[in-house]
A and B are shown apart, each in its own frame.
Chain A
């Protein structure tokens, strides 16, 4: 019962192939086929959630372990992977559907949809991959297609942003590869579960001397990998590329990059490696929480002074990912202290819940910014204003998303932030909880600014004149925005225990019982 696991990679890869070939004969093929591919992937993910027992270990090509040494490529579908797959494919579907109208003004749409499918295939692969090198290959697949997509407009700014993104992204990939080389040197295996077993056994059983050497080795590799994946996730000391890249890309791609890419190839991998591969230690937990706190506070302070809508949203991505990282980081600290499991579970659940919420509302906000840019061609908030009467759907959906990101009940952002703050107080990190509230207030202020200057200010005289002729965006764009806005409200249901047990609890258990991962995959 595991035939469908590789489909998550094969379907978008095959889709990219077909679009590249058939699309050159029949232009509109890629436009609709991409949405079809993503919709089928959502269906597959929901099938997995509701009617399959996870975790599933899939051996590619049937190459099982020989004499307890895993030799083949493994794909692992557990609670956390399914949760990320749902986020990737959901946001991917709405972005692809939105692109049907939005990308009409660009030339060579086929390349766009081909790269889009490749990016989704890469991210699905990262989330499913069970060994480190495969993870690196899929990560590069997603990253290279995203470099090309950022430069898709081929104007001055897009090219500059893409070059910056590529240089930093390339450096981070090489750090990751170096970390993998060190891991292979020391453990002679690439399978995440097997590495975890090797690190764990030598730390426990060997003599005291080799145990300390091992822990120093673990710290060294941990730092290299944290630098690599931190750059991919744009945590604060490594954030320089994100505002440029995310604001220069075409809007549906911005929503994919901010909503999904930095999570799937950055934050997810950090969680997976530091919980399930390395044994949790107080030092790494402290470093991860500190990086999260810095991102949360500095990201929002940098955001408040921005006047370019997409740039402001990009800085808020850094800040909101800080919430996710401190949520999970507090859980890690509590586990490292042998504190109460319930507090750790609550904190990790808050972090993962905010991960989903951020994907939805940040995806929606970038789509709104894209809609404004599509109609007016302007991103500077000082030159906008009074669009609320002309673009009612865009205005109302962006209002919902803004309330959600700034944590106003009953939208989803409120509940996830509340859970994180409660968990921080229960764990005894009072300063963190105060900072979280403070950042939430600044977020609210900065989104009031967005709403006022973009949608509710005095109407600009020029909107009705011939050049602009501003009206509501086409159906495909409205459809995506309305559905994401409904999700912003609907995800509040995750607070209900029955719903939470279906979606979030399996993911939390993977991180909470971190040692189970290794034994579950290896089977001994």
Chain B
């Protein structure tokens, strides 16, 4: 149970980073932490105590396998996360070129 709670704590740390930090790059890092915590959570959900990787071979000493489906889901989620993070960083670099700063307090053309 502790592992799951730590995982949720990691999610909340990432959320704190997104909400409270004022640097664009730190916000991106916060989002990345959130993403890793969700991926970790999915892997934990599929874990079976004492299980091995679900590969079918001739002489199986251990018949207990971990659940492979969350692992496949995490692979997909990592690819999606890669797309999101790279797009975010690209936009952050463009913003830096326009505003000469990463501070969101100075990037506020849009309001109201």
Contact = CB atoms under 8 A, between A and B. Distances in A.
Chains A and B bind each other: yes
A147 B83 CA distance: 11
B109 A133 contact: no
A151 B90 CA distance: 11
B80 A181 contact: no
B77 A177 contact: yes
B58 to A, nearest CB: 24
Contact of A159 (B11, B35, B95): B95
A163 B88 contact: yes
A407 B92 CA distance: 42
B82 to A, nearest CB: 11
Interface in B47-104: 69-70, 73, 76-77, 80, 83-84, 87-88, 91-92, 94-95, 98-99
Interface residues on B, range: 20 to 34
Interface string B36-50: 001001100100000
A177 B40 CA distance: 12
A155 B18 CA distance: 24
Contact of B31 (A155, A164, A171): A171
Contact of A160 (B11, B70, B95, B112): B95
A151 B89 CA distance: 13
Contacts of A174: 11, 31, 34-35, 38
B88 A170 contact: yes
A137 interface: yes
B84 A160 contact: no
B84 A171 contact: no
A39 interface: no
Contacts of B38: 174, 177-178, 181
A140 interface: yes
A154 B15 contact: no
B109 A137 contact: no
A161 B11 CA distance: 25
Nearest to B40: A181
A472 interface: no
Interface core residue of A155, A164, A173, A311 (most chain B CB under 10 Å): A173
B83 A160 contact: no
Contact of B110 (A173, A184, A248): A248
B87 A156 contact: no
B91 A151 contact: yes
Interface in A243-283: 243-244, 248
B6 interface: no
Contacts of A161: 110
B34 A160 contact: no
A451 interface: no
Given A140-B80, A167-B18, A156 B98 contact: yes
Contacts of A380: none
A32 B46 CA distance: 47
A8 to B, nearest CB: 21
Given A151-B91, A170-B31, A185-B45, A144 B84 contact: yes
A163 B95 contact: yes
Interface in A340-367: none
A181 B95 contact: no
8 contacts: A144-B87, A156-B98, A157-B109, A167-B27, A173-B84, A177-B77, A178-B11, A185-B45
